[in-house]
Structure 1
Amino acid sequence: MVLCVGVILGFGCGKEIGNAFGVVVIMVMLITTIMLTLVMIIIWRTPPVFVGMFFIPFVIMEGSYVSAVFTKIPEGGWLPFAVSMILALIMFVWYYGRQRKIEYEMANKITLERLGELLAMPEVQRVPGLCFFYNNIQDGLTPILGHYIKNMSSLHTVTIFVTLRYLLVSKVDQRERILIKRLRPRGVYQCTIQYGYDISEGLSLKGGEDLVTQVMRCLKQHIAMSTDRRSSVSTEEEIANLEAASSAEVVHVRGKMRFYVGDDASCFDKVMLRFYEFLHSICRSALPTLGMPL
């Protein structure tokens, strides 16, 4: 609303606003034609003849419109390009910050061997309860785990490292939505939750089960069907330990990693990473949308 009022007050003339709107409409038409052509080639595998029959007439017609409205750029048509540049900058900063964070996590990830060493420390205790520890990487464990164990000097008897995995599909089949894997330390498991871009229903399955119930059910099925017995614990004893931990306490741990921008950082990094931290601070978490408690 504020931006719309600002545009009206800034232009003060319906003609220039109409020029800006005209540039937006025709550019959207041209971009839609180009994107649909890419879909026909890459996804639908449409024969080149039919792709050409669609692309050539539309791009000639819409290209003519674009060349005509370009003359209106100095007369208000510059506004959509300015807005696009701002949005592109925000997306680039978000992508750059995420990549830097992933690089750090991969370089400092906790391996299973390192986890075993941390749990073998005399001051670290395995406390009763079930812990859902949210992990951002799949090949290894987040560096936040090391800080957590050192600061808390403990880890729950049953700890499930939960990783969210986004797939390029609308919905993921319920049988493939939750994947369980037993890790080497006793009572430690890895859970990968897969979801598509249509998350309107969250992670709800049949019966309206919550996250804990879903994961517990899948974990029990995995334990019952698993033939990989790395310890002397029987299937019945492992399931009993799981139920006892769930009855004792259920804790959700979600670490938050922040950038430290030192004085020796480049000007580019100072601006980009601080801007990313601002965006991250106002970004809403995806966990509640997926049916996960904070």
Structure 2
Amino acid sequence: MSSTALSAASSAKKAAPGLVLGAIGVVFGDIGTSPLYTLRECLKAAGGITQTNVFGIVSLILWSIIIVVTLKYVSFVMRADNEGEGGILALTALASGVAPVRLRGVLLTLGVFGAAMFYGDSMITPAISVISAVEGVTLVDPHLTEWIVPISLVILTGLFKLQKRGTGAVGTVFGPVMIVWFVTLAALGVSHIVTHTAIVQAVSPLYAVKFVAQAPATAFVVLGSVFLALTGGEALYADMGHFGKKPIRLAWLLLVLPSLVLNYFGQAALVLEKPSAIAQPFFQSAPDWALVPLVLLATAATIIASQAVISGAFSMTKQAVQLGFLPRIPVVHTSTHEIGQVYVPFINVTLYAAVVFLVVFFKSSDNLAAAYGIAVASTMLLTTLLMYFITHCLWRWKPLATAAVILPLALVDAVFVSSNVSKVLEGGWFPLLAGGVLFTVMTTWHKGRETIVDKMKTDNMPLVALIHSLCDGAHSPPRVNGTAVFPGGVVDMAPSAFLHNLKHNGVMHQTNIFLAGTTDNVPHVPDERKATVVDLGHECYAVTVHYGFMEIPNVPFILELAQKQMPNWKYEPADTSFFLARDTVMATGESKTMPLWREKLFAFLARNAAQAAEYYSLPANRVVEMGGQINI
């Protein structure tokens, strides 16, 4: 993602058509496949087909899309880019950097909760998208109903199995396929609007207001299904770093929005003319000869929608690791020239297991629709709350202007969240459960790391004082040839691996380099600002490394940058050894900041984190690990 963002920013003017095409193929898959099930679920929640229901619901869908997606995300939230990057974690980093210090912990908690809910969405989107497309085969042959789940599982298994190959090759066809999809949506909609032109009157918001006023309780329940039309809205912001604001806005306003509106209105016209079409209004809007091609096209579109969400989960994981909310997880780069194309095996397996469970347990898109919405609605509300700090603290809007924008948006989001609460027992419990587990893991890891750092600052000696006490005295340890590098330390503190080496081997290398990394609240840090070297004397150097939250540490590359500030030393891989502390974390129940169960969870996560050598991109044959134990 990181290099994709950079290349998008640098070549936006030259490659605008290509970026628009890419945005159509990647960004809009989720929201673009919502017509498969949204109107059907809304009419079911409303209790059936009446002219008031149909006109009111399609008007609600239209104005929900305009308010939430077009006005909130496309026009407002996308202005809050973190050096070109978007998404709930990028927004959290931006907001926490400008908010009052006393509130930063609260903002981080909100951002982590939103990220956890995003993972819940990543589990449901592939399941409901693919199964809703496959359900179209029942119109071809009703006897194929029992094959819906097996066919869906085969498609999803193939999709997750292909993740390790990367999305570069497949991505080139995403755009054209999705253009065909959106043009098809528009054509199907127009074909029925022209036969029932009265449906165009539902463009007026008065029909939505009338529907809500006549039956407020029913309308409140229906809003939980109307929200299904908005579930891809957060992706517009999350994928901003891939393509830039302008291509996403152009694609949305010129193709995606008109196609979605025309299709929803066309389905509404169809069910008014043919009430029996309520079972599958999307597929029954096509003529008989086009049914099989439409099922195949819908399946391709849902695969693309699923791919975008899965890739987003990989990228979110990389950000969470860098920001200190998840332990080190192996990340595989699937492209030699695009560092943003990553594959996270553990996340892939976890998502696959969750998706299989959802398909087997819920069995239909009707049932899955009940589980869909609460996670995304929660993330959208949190995005609005974070935007308050952007407008107030970063953009310096006047309080009245901030309130005039934030309060209505927060009210709309709160209504959608509360309307989806009614679906918790019907299936919404799953994303909440998954998100709750992930939120617990992420906050536990973050708090545990803080505890470890505090303990190191208490137990370990300050680095400068230790170096001078060792090298200025009469009994300084013998020096051996070569360079010793100690990655992963705490700024100004002696790293554990250095202390272990002194204790067990009783020597120091001729040159010693102490690396302490920090993650800044920006996606990328320029190379010239990545490494700051402080000469401690006695050929010992403290290097403070600054990473962006979209970057993965690469110690050899940092050493190449650092040597420019160290005229008497040159990085020679064959003469350099990397010393890592492989400490075992033990839960003792003595922590003042975490209960025993969280201590044990943190210890479990620490034991199962990826190898530091792999995470730091160290040459395996030059790594020395020094073991120890940390009691928390």
TM-score of the two chains, using structure 1 as the length reference: 0.77
Contact 1:287–1:293 (8 Å) recurs in 2: yes
* Aligned residue type for 2:604: F
Gaps of 5+ in 2: 1-351, 621-632
The equivalent residue for 2:317 is: none
What is the distance in 1 between the residues matched to 2:418 and 2:597? 36
Contact 1:110–1:146 (8 Å) recurs in 2: no
| Counterpart mapping for 1:126-275 below 5 A | 126-184=479-537, 186-199=538-551, 210-220=557-567, 239=568, 242=569, 246=572, 249-262=575-588, 265=590, 270-275=596-601
Contact 2:586–2:603 (8 Å) recurs in 1: no
What is the distance in 1 between the residues matched to 2:479 and 2:452? 30
The alpha-carbon deviation at position 182 of structure 1 amounts to: 1.2
Moved more, 282-291 or 159-168: 282-291
Distance 1:60 1:93, change over 3 A: closer
* Aligned residue type for 1:198: M
Q: Are residues 1:282 and 2:629 paired?
A: no
Distance 1:212 1:33, change over 3 A: closer
Contact 1:109–1:141 (8 Å) recurs in 2: yes
Residues 71-116 of structure 1 deviation map (CA, whole Å, 9 limit, x = unaligned): 2222222222212210111012202321221121001122333344
What is the distance in 2 between the residues matched to 1:287 and 1:46? 46
| Larger RCO (CA within 8 A; separation ≥ 6) | 2
Q: Are residues 1:67 and 2:67 paired?
A: no
Contact 1:165–1:195 (8 Å) recurs in 2: yes
Contact 1:199–1:289 (8 Å) recurs in 2: no
Contact 2:483–2:575 (8 Å) recurs in 1: yes
Residues 229-264 of structure 1 deviation map (CA, whole Å, 9 limit, x = unaligned): xxxxxxxxxx2xx35x959821111222222345x7
Gaps of 5+ in 1: 221-238
The equivalent residue for 1:2 is: 353
The equivalent residue for 1:231 is: none
The alpha-carbon deviation at position 214 of structure 1 amounts to: 2.2
The alpha-carbon deviation at position 135 of structure 1 amounts to: 4.5
What is the distance in 2 between the residues matched to 1:43 and 1:247? 44
The equivalent residue for 2:465 is: 113
Aligned length: 265
What is the distance in 2 between the residues matched to 1:157 and 1:164? 23
* Aligned residue type for 2:545: I
The alpha-carbon deviation at position 126 of structure 1 amounts to: 0.5
What is the distance in 1 between the residues matched to 2:485 and 2:578? 5
The alpha-carbon deviation at position 40 of structure 1 amounts to: 1.7
Q: Are residues 1:42 and 2:368 paired?
A: no
Contact 1:16–1:77 (8 Å) recurs in 2: no
What is the distance in 2 between the residues matched to 1:158 and 1:85? 47
* Aligned residue type for 1:217: K
The equivalent residue for 1:224 is: none
Distance 1:19 1:190, change over 3 A: same
* Aligned residue type for 2:600: R
Distance 1:155 1:272, change over 3 A: same
SS in 2 for 1:258: strand
RMSD: 3.0
Contact 1:178–1:218 (8 Å) recurs in 2: no
What is the distance in 1 between the residues matched to 2:427 and 2:439? 20
Distance 1:171 1:107, change over 3 A: same
* Aligned residue type for 1:215: A
What is the distance in 2 between the residues matched to 1:24 and 1:210? 39
The alpha-carbon deviation at position 25 of structure 1 amounts to: 3.5
What is the distance in 2 between the residues matched to 1:12 and 1:168? 42
Distance 1:287 1:215, change over 3 A: farther
